[in-house]
Homo-oligomer: A and B are copies of this chain.
């Protein structure tokens, strides 16, 4: 029984309709959208990542789940399994607090425990958001609908690559990796007008495949249409491999939605990009094209966190 089997076993325990069969990133309970993400040292972040950014990202990853459901972040409970003298935790909490303020959430509870000195830290956040007039599921996409990408992809992966070359790197790509900004306002604006929505966190190809599977459909993605930032182009140019890098790098904090052309008329926060990147069709799986020609689907579609 590996991680996948354990997840399937957990899924079978979830009988309540609020759980949405755990197919979604969040549950819907009485007007609250509720999500939980757990991260571990050495698995989801590196021991020498600045702790402020780990705190920021723990809040961001949860706020992004809420954004994908069109919910307004409201409250959070922190699970902090600490270790050592607490210096790392103090900086982690600084970053977490900044992000909670930024995303309009207050800490209402949680638990702090102390781990043995050689154990990796494990950090979890339960986030509650107020549901909007609609809470789109991941699996509501309809055949023939356009797949829309909100935001850009690849920036964080490009930022991480810069940091791997030089830990002193800075600039917008590094910022996208270190201090991602979930698209909460865009998510809330779009949610009532889409049939399916989710945040893109592990790579747009992987997440598009997940949406297609949950909707019982196939996703066709046009890599040429992927919205990339100027900073991304500047750092990595363009071309098929560059676009595959952007589409599979992960850590994106974008949104993926399935809906009609009326989405183009919805006012979004200034600077938010909305791009038609493909569509859902009858069938299964994923197909890719680039500049009008079909291209093979890469083996690795995104970032799936795994321990060893």
B-binding residues in A (CB < 8 A): 1-3, 5-7, 9-10, 13-16, 18-19, 22, 26-27, 29-32, 34-40, 42-44, 74-75, 77-83, 85-87, 89-90, 93, 96-97, 100, 106-117, 119-120, 122, 124, 126, 128, 305-308
Q: Contact: B116 with A10, CB < 8 Å?
A: no
Q: Contact: B36 with A89, CB < 8 Å?
A: no
Tell me the number of copies of this protein: 2
What chain B residues lie within 8 Å of A1 (beta carbons)?
Answer: 85-87, 89-90
Give the Cβ gap from A46 to chain B, nearest Cβ, in Å: 13
Q: Contact: B36 with A6, CB < 8 Å?
A: no
Give the Cβ gap from A30 to chain B, nearest Cβ, in Å: 8
Given A18-B106, A40-B81, 11 new contacts (CB under 8 A)? A1-B90, A6-B80, A9-B93, A19-B108, A22-B109, A29-B75, A36-B110, A40-B113, A115-B120, A117-B307, A119-B119
What chain B residues lie within 8 Å of A86 (beta carbons)?
Answer: 1-3, 5-6
What chain B residues lie within 8 Å of A117 (beta carbons)?
Answer: 307-308
Q: Contact: B10 with A93, CB < 8 Å?
A: yes
What chain B residues lie within 8 Å of A305 (beta carbons)?
Answer: 113-114
Q: Contact: B18 with A75, CB < 8 Å?
A: yes
Q: Which of B29, B78, B81 contacts A108 (CB 8 A)?
A: B29
Q: Which B-chain residue is minimally distant from A97 (CB atoms)?
A: B13
Q: How far is the CA of A93 from the CA of B12 in the complex (A)?
A: 11
21 contacts between A and B (CB under 8 A): A1-B86, A2-B85, A6-B82, A6-B86, A9-B90, A13-B100, A16-B106, A18-B75, A22-B108, A27-B108, A29-B75, A34-B108, A35-B109, A36-B109, A36-B110, A38-B79, A40-B81, A40-B122, A77-B126, A83-B307, A114-B308
